[in-house]
Amino acid sequence: MSSRIFTALLIAGAWLAAGPALGQELKVRPGTAAVEGAPGSLQDVPAPAPILGPRLAPGFSPPRFNGKPDFTGVWNNETLTGINRPAAFGSRLVLTEAEARIIEGENATLLARANAPTEAGATIRDIEAKDTCSGGRSGAAQVCNYDAAWTAPGEKVMRVNGQPRTSLLTTPDGQYPIAKRQETAAERQRRARAAVAEGSAGESAAERNRGPQNDNPETRGLAERCIIVRSDPPMFDGLYNNNHYFQMATDHVAIVTEMIHDVRVIRLNSTHRADGVRPWFGDPIGWWEGDTLVVETTNLPESQAYRGSWEHLKVIERFTMVSPERMNYRFEIVDPTMWDKPWGGEYELVRGGPMFEYACHEGNYGLANILAGARAEDAQSAGRE
Which residue, 353, 5, 279, 332, is CA-closest to 169? 332
Determine the Cα angle at 223 with ends 157 and 23, to 5°: 20
137: Cβ contacts below 8 Å, ≥ 6 apart: 28, 131, 144
Note the pLDDT of residue 234. Answer: 96
- pTM score, two decimals? 0.82
Cα–Cα distance between 16 and 32 in angstroms, integer?
Answer: 26
Strands (E), 194-272: 243-248, 252-257, 263-268
297: Cβ contacts below 8 Å, ≥ 6 apart: 233, 281, 282, 283, 284, 285, 314, 315, 316, 317
Phi/psi for 274 (5° steps) reads -125, 25
Find out whether 160 and 51 touch, Cβ atoms under 8 Å: yes
Phi/psi for 381 (5° steps) reads -70, -25
Burial of 380 (0-12, 13-18, 19+ CB in 10 A): exposed
Cα–Cα distance between 76 and 69 in angstroms, integer?
Answer: 18
From first to last of its 385 residues, the chain has per-residue pLDDT tens of: 433 332 222 223 332 233 333 223 223 344 455 555 454 455 456 677 999 999 999 999 999 999 999 999 999 999 999 999 988 788 889 988 888 888 888 888 878 887 888 888 887 777 767 767 765 444 444 566 667 777 888 889 999 999 999 999 999 999 999 999 877 777 666 666 665 555 444 555 544 554 456 677 777 777 777 888 887 899 999 888 899 999 999 999 999 999 888 899 999 999 999 999 999 999 999 999 999 999 999 999 988 889 989 999 999 999 999 999 999 999 999 999 999 999 999 999 999 988 888 877 766 777 788 888 888 888 888 876 5
SS3 at position 22: helix
Cα–Cα distance between 162 and 165 in angstroms, integer?
Answer: 9
Find out whether 244 and 260 touch, Cβ atoms under 8 Å: no
Note the pLDDT of residue 314. Answer: 98
Note the pLDDT of residue 14. Answer: 31
The gap from C-alpha 164 to its chain's centroid, in whole angstroms, comes to: 20
Cα–Cα distance between 192 and 180 in angstroms, integer?
Answer: 22
Note the pLDDT of residue 19. Answer: 33
Residue 314 bridge partners (DSSP): 334
Cα–Cα distance between 57 and 323 in angstroms, integer?
Answer: 6
User: What would you measure as the largest C-alpha separation in the chain, in angstroms?
Assistant: 77
SS3 at position 190: helix
Note the pLDDT of residue 137. Answer: 47
